[in-house]
Structure 1
Amino acid sequence: MKPPASQSCQHYPECAGCDRLHIGYEKQLQHKQEEIATLLGGFKGLEILPIVKSPKEQMYRHKVQLPFGHRKIGKRSVLTLGLHNKENTFIIDQKECRIQDRDLTTVAFAIRHWARTENLSPYNEKNGSGLLRHIVLRKANASQEILVGIVTNTNEIPGRKNITNSLQSYIKQFLSKEKSKAEVVGILQNVNQRNTKVVLGEKETTWYGRHFIKEKIGELNFQIGLSTFFQVNPYQIENLYSLVVQDLPSDSIVVDAYCGIGTISLYVAAKSKKVIGLEENPNSIRSAIGAAKANGIENVVFTRGKVLQSLQSALNEKPDVVIVDPPREGLDSETKKILLNSKIGKILYVSCNPETLRRDSVELTKSFRYQKVTPVDLFPHTSHLESVSVFVR
């Protein structure tokens, strides 16, 4: 399982970050095409289009979440930072990564150096002790801005001003050494005191700068925070969203379910008569409304609430098309019932999980014809696969 020299990594295959680094990229694409054909090939008349390859195969991830850990060296305990091993028994002290953006890896190294120099303790899951739980890093491809999130186990940190200054200084040094043009525009502390696998807590404090980075999709401007849902491979976003636009009839009334901060809603607005975005998360809805205003788009409205309730209400607007972009769990049974019993002419299903897509498609084909699916590779060197499916009444 030795990776080709062009994509080798000293942590592979021990690290859980990727699982296909030993396969050349063209072969990976072929395997994913075959997997989707095997999974969905039983649907009568379904057209399975060629996979859309990622314009960038390596160092494409613009969001990085890494846990802190520790390892014993003699009698000393040394802080580590990286991803879990495949067995989830320890945290690999990251020396390199083939899928993270290079600048974010550099910032991660700077943070680890800072934590060790300041003698800050890593969180211990077993007894709940320690300070540092995770880092969350985000980078905007358009502006080269970086947002740094330090997730801690406690709110109060003695000497916070001093350690913030030293953190800024180390990050600048490390980026400068790599001759990077990226700039950290905000450092945030996120507090998570729960015994949970969920990375981010509810409380956020700004240590430096602002709480968002400025990103673009095409000509559209967005503000991305630590917890904002935004595709992590910016090189592939327009390819993904263009597939949605191309199957959208002009001047349609469109419902965009699970709309997040409104990226798809605003991207399809120019071709639509009206777009109704549905989203449960209050922060996302606020960001979506702000993005519509900032981009001067007036034919999009956003409704906050669980998709299950708000979809039924949105159908009163007599939409022509419903776009769904659900989480990995896919659509719940009640939402599928609403779609089946509606008068919707077309569903555009953006999926991040082929297994739940197949399950949902079995249900949807009771009233819809599964017309076509286009696989999109947003995550080279991993088994993850996105796709855009078209269902017509």
Structure 2
Amino acid sequence: MEFAEAMRALDDAVVGCVRKRKKTPKLVVGRDYVTETTRLVDGRSVVFKHVEGSFSNPNGGVAELTANHLVRICADIAGPKTKFIELYAGCGNHTCCMAPQFPGGAFAVEIDPVLVEAARENFARNGVRAEIVCERAEDWIASRESPTNDRDVVLLVDPPRGGLDARTLDVVTREFDDVIYVACDCESLKRDIDDERVGFAARGFELTSLACFDHAPTSPRWIETVGVFKRREA
């Protein structure tokens, strides 16, 4: 406790200290979360809550560049009735940025209950009209009763480094026409494009844009890649 308080007194940037051990409750001195502001090209500033122990992007500057790239994409493809759905939504940061561009509303899916609660707080804090459910993305997409025609949906997927599992990839490429794929690992994205049975190429999608963002400049391996897919008209 003394060490934690000394750290907070030494540096105003330290908002809290957390001790975690397997068999004892988590000890928090100060806060166990940070807030981050992202400034968008449309003039909005959105504030996110990032909770200790759950995934969040450590590179705020590049995350802001990525968010603005996504906002520009959605400005071009959102129609008057279009709905936005995000799978693997985390704390709802993508949904917060893009939901206001979709008159049909926004819906998000995330498996981590801590992040789901943070997302609800982020939606409320930023005045975003969106819903989120706590469920595995692959279970939700396979069993859902879609409230709208999937052809009027822009779907964003931001899966872990392993990419989309086979079942989710099958549903995504079969039932949606506009897909934004945020890939932590470009190799997983390439695999999901090239899958001979249910990949984006096999299902008649065109890759309309591709952008790379170096969220981890100290690593030669991980480059965040954003691909935009549009189903070709028959």
> TM-score of the superposition, structure 1-length normalised?
0.51
Q: Does residue 1:169 correspond to 2:169, yes or no? A: no
What is the aligned counterpart of 2:201 among 360, 365, 370? 365
Deviation, structure 1 residue 372? 2.3
Residue matched to 2:171: 338
Distance 2:214 2:125 in 1: 30
> Number of residues paired by the alignment?
212
Residue matched to 1:310: 140
Give percent identity, aligned residues only: 21
Does structure 1 conserve the Cα–Cα contact (< 8 Å) formed by 2:8 and 2:16? no
Residue matched to 2:53: 227
Q: Does residue 1:392 correspond to 2:222, yes or no? A: no
Residue matched to 1:205: 27
Residue matched to 2:70: 244
Structure 1 residues 314 and 277 mapped into 2: Cα distance closer, same or farther (>3 Å)?
Answer: farther
Residue matched to 1:382: 219
Q: One-letter code of the match for 1:389?
A: G
Does structure 1 conserve the Cα–Cα contact (< 8 Å) formed by 2:159 and 2:182? yes
| Structure 1 residues without counterparts, runs of 5 or longer | 1-163, 176-181, 194-201
- Deviation string for 1:310-342 (max 9, x for gaps)? 124164422421100000011000001111221
Does structure 1 conserve the Cα–Cα contact (< 8 Å) formed by 2:181 and 2:226? yes
- Deviation string for 1:175-198 (max 9, x for gaps)? 4xxxxxx432212211236xxxxx
Q: One-letter code of the match for 1:282?
A: P
Q: Does residue 1:192 correspond to 2:22, yes or no? A: yes
Distance 1:365 1:203 in 2: 49
Does structure 2 conserve the Cα–Cα contact (< 8 Å) formed by 1:257 and 1:307? yes
Distance 2:9 2:32 in 1: 18
SS in 2 for 1:311: helix
Structure 1 residues 341 and 235 mapped into 2: Cα distance closer, same or farther (>3 Å)?
Answer: same
| Structure 2 residues without counterparts, runs of 5 or longer | 40-44
Distance 2:157 2:25 in 1: 30
Does structure 1 conserve the Cα–Cα contact (< 8 Å) formed by 2:4 and 2:17? no
- Deviation string for 1:252-276 (max 9, x for gaps)? 2011010011000110012112111
Q: Does residue 1:325 correspond to 2:158, yes or no? A: yes
Distance 2:184 2:157 in 1: 11
Distance 2:8 2:201 in 1: 52
Q: Does residue 1:255 correspond to 2:85, yes or no? A: yes
Does structure 2 conserve the Cα–Cα contact (< 8 Å) formed by 1:228 and 1:261? no
Distance 1:289 1:255 in 2: 15
SS in 1 for 2:138: helix
What is the aligned counterpart of 1:282 among 100, 103, 113? 113
Which has more radius of gyration?
1
- Deviation string for 1:19-56 (max 9, x for gaps)? xxxxxxxxxxxxxxxxxxxxxxxxxxxxxxxxxxxxxx
Structure 1 residues 167 and 306 mapped into 2: Cα distance closer, same or farther (>3 Å)?
Answer: closer
Distance 2:123 2:63 in 1: 18
Name the structure, 1 or 2, with higher relative contact order (CA <8 Å, separation 6+): 1
| CA RMSD across the alignment | 1.9
Deviation, structure 1 residue 376? 1.2
What is the aligned counterpart of 1:216 among 19, 37, 41? 37
Q: One-letter code of the match for 2:26?
A: E
Q: One-letter code of the match for 2:190?
A: R
Residue matched to 2:122: 291
SS in 1 for 2:133: strand
Structure 1 residues 232 and 314 mapped into 2: Cα distance closer, same or farther (>3 Å)?
Answer: farther
